Amino acid sequence: MSASGMTDGQIKDLLKKVAEAARKHRKDVSQKAAGQALGVPNIGTMMFAVFRQLADAMSNLIVHRVKVDRTRTPQQALDACGRKQYVNSEVVATMPAGKGKNVRLTYFKPDKSAYDDNGLLKPGALDEEYKKHGLKADPQAQIDDNAANPNFADKTPNACQWTDKNGNHCYATFYRWNGGPVVFVSRFGLDWDGRWSFAGVPDGSSASAV
């Protein structure tokens, strides 16, 4: 087995998970339909294609272990991050509160299929990408990560997106603009282009142990 390929153990684990799912949902598929589906040429290749797509997405992840100061307000965190601010104070106040002093912050690039024909990603489509990756925004962790790694956003412009209580999409972006490091925080009025990486922590618990 090549070091760059799946191990026999990983293949067995994948087959085990497929078998578990099949047993769990066996009543949802009739014997006749199952027999017909199993007779489709390359059914194994078709099923593996879904796994491969997920694995490809995982290979594009960047994971940073971040120490977060939760004693500060979002604005205090922004003030300490060392970036020029272009922020809407009302939107800053809507930032979701994260949990945990140590988190695993994951940066991801949305799947190419999520972008429209003009190469743009709509906020609603980004919501789905967050769900697909099992992540949710933790703006304060991302602020502190960009503060600790001030040059990261130069090569990896990064952002996060959340929804306020009125259903408005809001965002924070970190990148270099006009020759210096900046952070923007506002409500969304446009779609995302392809340069952005997005960050979040595991959904269900804003903290993930380092």
Together in a domain, 66 and 47? no
**CB-CB contact of 142 with 199 (8 Å):** yes
Residue 1's Cβ-count burial label (10 Å; 0-12, 13-18, 19+) is exposed
Residue 189 has pLDDT above 60, yes or no: yes
Say how far apart CA 3 and CA 5 lie, in whole Å: 6
Say how far apart CA 20 and CA 13 lie, in whole Å: 10
Together in a domain, 175 and 79? yes
In a domain? residue 72: yes
Together in a domain, 140 and 49? no
Say how far apart CA 79 and CA 5 lie, in whole Å: 45
Together in a domain, 85 and 185? yes
140: its two tokens: 């304060």
Residue 3 has pLDDT above 80, yes or no: no
Residue 121 DSSP code? B
In a domain? residue 189: yes
Q: Residue 108: which of 155, 156, 165, 39 has the closest Cα?
A: 156
Supply the pTM of this predicted model.
Answer: 0.73
Q: What is the band of 56 on the pLDDT scale with cuts at 50, 70, 90?
A: low
Say how far apart CA 123 and CA 151 lie, in whole Å: 26
Together in a domain, 71 and 26? no
Say how far apart CA 153 and CA 196 lie, in whole Å: 10
In a domain? residue 207: no
In a domain? residue 38: yes
Together in a domain, 33 and 99? no
Together in a domain, 89 and 155? yes
Q: What are phi and psi of 103, to 5 degrees?
A: -130, 160
Together in a domain, 153 and 108? yes
Domain count within the chain: 2
Q: Tell me what pLDDT residue 53 has.
A: 57
Q: Tell me what pLDDT residue 59 has.
A: 57
Together in a domain, 186 and 108? yes
Which amino acid is it at 84?
A: K
Together in a domain, 55 and 67? no
In a domain? residue 136: yes
Say how far apart CA 129 and CA 121 lie, in whole Å: 10
Together in a domain, 178 and 76? yes
Cα–Cα separations (whole angstroms), residue 87 to 78, 83, 152, 186: 9, 11, 20, 6
Domain that holds residue 93: 62-202
pLDDT tens, position by position, 122-146:
999 999 999 999 999 999 999 999 9
Together in a domain, 41 and 95? no
Q: Tell me what pLDDT residue 57 has.
A: 52
| Mean per-residue pLDDT, 3-32 | 87
Helices marked H in the chain: 8-24, 31-38, 43-59, 74-79, 89-92, 123-132, 139-148, 152-155
In a domain? residue 2: no
Q: Residue 53: which of 106, 114, 2, 105 has the closest Cα?
A: 114
